[in-house]
Amino acid sequence: MQLARSRAYSIPILKVKAKLTAILSLFFGLGVIAQNDKLPGDPSLPSSKQELAKIAKLETKKYKYSVRDYFQKPNQFSFKFSPDGQFLSYKEKDKNGKNHVYVKNIESGKISRAIEEGENLILGYYWANSNRLIYLKDKGGDENYHLFAVNIDGKNDLELTPFEGVKASFISLLKDQKEFVIISMNKTNPQVFEPYKININTGKLEKLFDNKDPMNPIVGYEFDKTGKLRGYTKQVNGTELSLYYRSDKEFSKLKTTNWRDDFHILDFDYTTDYEHDAFVKTNLHSDKSEIHLYDLKEKKTIKKLFSDNTFDIGGISRSRKRGYEIDYYYYTGEKSVSVPVSSTFKKLHNKCIAQFKGLEFNIVSTTDDEDRLLIYVSSDKLYGVYYVYDVKKDEFKEVFNLMPQLDPNDMAEMKPIKFKSRDGLDLYGYITIPKAAAKGKVPMIVNPHGGPYGPRDYWGFNPESQLFASRGYATLQINFRGSGGYGKKLFLAGCKQIGRKMLNDLEDGVAYAKTLGFIDERKIGIFGASYGGLATLGSLVKTPDLYTCGVDYVGVSNLFTFFKSFPPYWKPYIMKVREQWYDETSEEENKIMKQVSPALNVDKITKPLLVVQGANDSRVNIDESDQVVKSLRSRGVDVPYMVKYDEGHGFRKESNRIELYETMMGFFAKHLN
């Protein structure tokens, strides 16, 4: 099961779409506010705006950069080329903080506003064809996504999925059927998702397949570039995945794996006339996930294509213009790695290395003719700059610097680290070192990532870590057991270790950081979101003497109430939950669940705590935070509690994010300085 907080916005990287893995993603869709307008949770608990402002004011020192400098959204971002290359689209922030989508005619310079952002945020937008955009919204962070389409001049703005309580997800563009896209929705039955072909001009729907068995549902669909359904993945008995493939007229079972293993189709091979070859990602033959060329009809590997001894391979990128030739494969090691394959990409890769010395670069948008490439350049110290590479002119041109107010020379180094856990596992992570460390020992904030199963931390510009560093705090991020990207052994080592060995890994990371010689051992805080919030609370329970204070952001606190909050359509997955997390029906594991549920052990929390929650959170119900606050306050402990009633699993709105981090900086200033 995976918990990971929402991001306010992200930089897209054009890589082959990731298909369903054995990791369970938690997207509940529990709804927002009831029809009687009753506020979620206990509205008597949240601290007042004035009380939180007092905490923010505890940061009295003057710094070169404000919280706003790090957490305001860029004035422009999310740039994309239209398929025909005539237009460049982007989001632009207005004076009220709304981020509208604009389309610029590259030749004439004319700019039109295509999408206006209202109360609900534009969560993502895409070019369906060169005349029309599609975009996603939900209501207040409830994650019941609705799909819209609009002309590039803002006309014919149409809600394609106007169904209350229904969640739509994008599956595939159809490049040769420009008026259609393929999506999935739980429209027929809220427990299962089914694929639809939808006309983006009229909203006309055509269901493409029936998902008939809610207890053993289809959880992934494999469409080829023509829109033909070639395969699907069925969840069986809660712990197994069966891949079905249609080599003739009927679908037949190709392979069954359990959640511990990985075997899924990345995409089909279009370089030959034989239609049954596909690129699959699998770890059935090794500890690390590899990419194989696989014959789906004969059920055999043709060739192992790409692998790495230390890290899971992420995927491949191909050129549609050049007949789907593989350009590169990629994976995330200590940093992001792209390995050139085609001669065309090798030349481009070398040009980029020479142009952007020491920086990471990713192609985030291309025209259909591949004559213009939009390249995103960043590092641990550089937030991000967009460049256009004109292939014919062999010329790079800067388009937009997202955060020009942040001078890379003032930013802190994010250093990859590796150490041994107490039981012998190789663990990786990062430590961001503030410039103040050159003058003496500094406080440190441990920042466990969400998930916990599958996600991981990455090298790159991290606004949180850089904000902390600007205040003189080091940041430690550990990819503990259960994290993704490091192979099956490390991933499975996290099973049934929430609140136990997973927290040991954080403690071992702290012990390693102390050996570096610049950490003040008396001033170590911990802050995490989602599962990281659970790890924060659990650490304050398990090792209260190690940490000075903690911040719990949209975190789980009670495994029993957390499991009970699952909606009906998660019933098929309960066995997987019991094998990964804990089995509440087992007497022994029931006892462990009580021991590792912080809300049931608040008497052991002795250090200052700040709790933060989005009221409309569809993954971690507000009751998880309410429980901790109520219990601590009943013991006479003062717990500041920030709740936003227009947010879900992580704050998306700029004003809320800035208020959150201003409050957090005041909290840390009080307890770490």
Whether residue 218 contacts residue 234, with contact meaning beta carbons closer than 8 Å, is answered with: yes
451 occurs within a structural domain: yes
pLDDT of 507 higher than 70: yes
419 occurs within a structural domain: yes
What is the C-alpha to C-alpha distance for residues 333 and 217, in angstroms, rounded to an integer? 34
- Predicted local distance difference test score (pLDDT) of residue 340: 98
What is the C-alpha to C-alpha distance for residues 255 and 298, in angstroms, rounded to an integer? 12
422 occurs within a structural domain: yes
DSSP codes joined into one string, 497-517:
-TTTHHHHHHHHHHHHHHTTS
- Predicted local distance difference test score (pLDDT) of residue 568: 64
| Among 238, 269, 236, 272, CA closest to 255 | 236
In the block, tokens 């209260």 appear at 544
203-261, pLDDT tens digit by residue?
Answer: 999 999 999 999 899 999 999 999 999 999 999 988 999 999 999 889 999 999 999 99
pLDDT of 24 higher than 90: no
For residue 595, the enclosing domain spans 2-10+415-672
In the block, tokens 């490049």 appear at 175
pLDDT of 30 higher than 60: no
330 occurs within a structural domain: no
279-317, pLDDT tens digit by residue?
Answer: 999 999 999 999 999 999 999 999 999 999 999 999 999
- Mean pLDDT value of segment 602-630: 96
Q: What amino acid is encoded at 506 in this protein?
A: L
Higher per-residue pLDDT: 264 or 1: 264
- Mean pLDDT value of segment 25-49: 65
| Among 129, 297, 253, CA closest to 200 | 129
The percent of residues in the chain predicted with pLDDT above 90, rounded, is 90
146: enclosing H helix or E strand: strand 146-151
Q: In the β-sheet with 218-223, what is the strand arrangement from edge to edge? A: 218-223, 229-236, 240-246, 251-258
Q: What are phi and psi of 221, to 5 degrees?
A: -120, 140
- Mean pLDDT value of segment 314-340: 97
What is the C-alpha to C-alpha distance for residues 578 and 585, in angstroms, rounded to an integer? 9
Residue 598's SS3 state is helix
364 occurs within a structural domain: no
201 occurs within a structural domain: no
pTM of the model: 0.92
What is the C-alpha to C-alpha distance for residues 32 and 11, in angstroms, rounded to an integer? 28
In the block, tokens 């911990």 appear at 526
Count the Cβ atoms, other than its own, within 10 Å of residue 248: 7
What is the C-alpha to C-alpha distance for residues 193 and 213, in angstroms, rounded to an integer? 11
| Among 555, 352, 326, CA closest to 447 | 555
pLDDT of 567 higher than 80: no
pLDDT of 8 higher than 60: no
Total residues belonging to the chain = 673
122-169, pLDDT tens digit by residue?
Answer: 999 999 999 999 999 998 888 889 999 999 999 999 999 999 989 999
- Mean pLDDT value of segment 515-541: 98
Average pLDDT, the chain: 93
- Predicted local distance difference test score (pLDDT) of residue 33: 37
| Among 576, 574, 509, CA closest to 543 | 509
337 occurs within a structural domain: no
Count the Cβ atoms, other than its own, within 10 Å of residue 360: 20
82 occurs within a structural domain: no
Whether residue 125 contacts residue 143, with contact meaning beta carbons closer than 8 Å, is answered with: no
Give the pairing type, strands 641-644 and 609-614.
parallel
* Total number of domains constituting the chain: 1
Q: Where residue 428 sits, what CATH number does that domain have?
A: 3.40.50.1820
Q: In the β-sheet with 336-340, what is the strand arrangement from edge to edge? A: 313-319, 325-332, 336-340
How far is Cα of residue 108 from the mean position of the Cα atoms in its chain?
A: 37
